[in-house]
């Protein structure tokens, strides 16, 4: 049965953060829904919601609360009925949704890789000893410290444009950004992607998730044509891996699932925050077993790490 479609008189309200990247992701979601159902742009309303993570920029994320900083206010608006769906960067999402909400629609995944960004060009190996590298990501900082302990790492927060500006102003010699975000903003030209074998990305990097109220069957039907099954299968494995590790912005964790011919290959790693130790592993099996594989791989890495690994 066809769901009741939104219209200019009763638009579907799409909740999002207000950064240029978040708006690009909301607009992509709108465009896919317009194409799937033959609807005009006026049948949708993009609602910008201020979140704590975008307002407190002078402190590291680990000091102000972790992943929920980028989702809490949006999810509250969804539960209160102020919006109908919420569009998120999946790497920002906690592994458990609040009661009454479900996250079961994902758009086709973008480039999963990190990008090395430096006015001087080159790559990580080309940085001189003692060079200053800016990043707010504990995962990237730990990976870099593990590989290049001679570098000086500094906090580097803000949206993509803010971090690019800080770099141009000389606040650091280099930084890292997600290729997915650069692609969505049209800023990828001239950037240097880092292969996952060299720098394993964050869990769910490059993926957009659409959250809805669990009792809203009409919206579930509306989203069904734009949901990408392959992305969902990959994220099920990655997010199960993260969930067992109790991953947050306070723990350096990386993971990537690849899907081929109905089978998933999952790679994961955990690091000490100072980069002094790294433990990695992988698992492979049927895509339908992805969540169990993620949980099992995390348990194996935790057993190898022992208590207190993250400090």
From 54, 80, 84, 92, the catalytic residue:
92
From residue 239, alpha-carbon distances to 63, 67, 129, 154, 278 in Å are 23, 13, 36, 28, 20
**DSSP H or E stretch at residue 37:** helix 20-37
> Is 92 among the residues known to form the active site?
yes
- Map 74-104 to HEC letters: HHHHHHHCCCCEEEEEHHHCCCCCCCCEEEE
3-state secondary structure of 106: strand
Lookup result for tokens 């990008």: 115
Q: How far apart are CA 58 and CA 13, in angstroms?
A: 31
Strand order in the sheet with 174-178: 152-154, 132-134, 174-178, 114-117, 192-194
- Catalytically active residues are 92
């Amino acid at each position: 049965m066809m769901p009741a479609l939104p219209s200019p008189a009763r638009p579907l309200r799409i909740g999002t953060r207000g950064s240029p990247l978040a708006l690009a992701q909301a607009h992509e979601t709108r465009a896919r829904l317009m194409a799937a159902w033959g609807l005009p742009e006026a049948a949708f309303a993009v609602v910008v919601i201020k979140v704590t993570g975008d307002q407190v920029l002078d402190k590291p994320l680990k000091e102000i609360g972790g992943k929920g900083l980028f989702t809490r206010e949006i999810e509250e608006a969804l539960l209160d009925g102020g919006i109908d769906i919420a569009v998120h960067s999946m790497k920002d999402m906690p592994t458990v949704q609040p009661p009454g909400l479900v996250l079961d629609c994902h758009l086709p995944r973008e480039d999963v890789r990190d990008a090395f960004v430096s006015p001087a060009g080159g790559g990580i190996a080309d940085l001189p000893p003692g060079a200053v590298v800016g990043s707010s990501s504990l995962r990237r900082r730990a990976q870099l410290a593990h590989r290049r302990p001679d570098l000086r790492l500094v906090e580097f927060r803000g949206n993509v444009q803010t971090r690019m500006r800080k770099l141009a102003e000389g606040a650091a010699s280099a930084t890292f950004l997600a290729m997915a975000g650069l692609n969505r903003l049209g800023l990828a030209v001239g950037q240097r992607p880092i292969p996952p074998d060299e720098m394993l990305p964050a869990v769910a990097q490059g993926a957009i998730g659409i959250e809805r109220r669990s009792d809203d069957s009409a919206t579930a039907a509306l989203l069904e044509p734009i949901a990408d099954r392959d992305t969902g299968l990959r994220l099920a494995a990655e997010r199960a891996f993260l969930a067992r590790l109790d991953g947050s912005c306070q723990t350096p964790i990386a993971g990537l699932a690849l899907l081929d011919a109905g089978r998933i290959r999952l790679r994961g790693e955990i690091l000490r925050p100072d980069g002094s130790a790294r433990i990695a592993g992988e698992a492979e099996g049927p895509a339908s077993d992805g969540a169990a594989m993620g949980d099992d791989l995390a348990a194996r890495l935790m057993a190898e790490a022992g208590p207190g690994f993250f400090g």
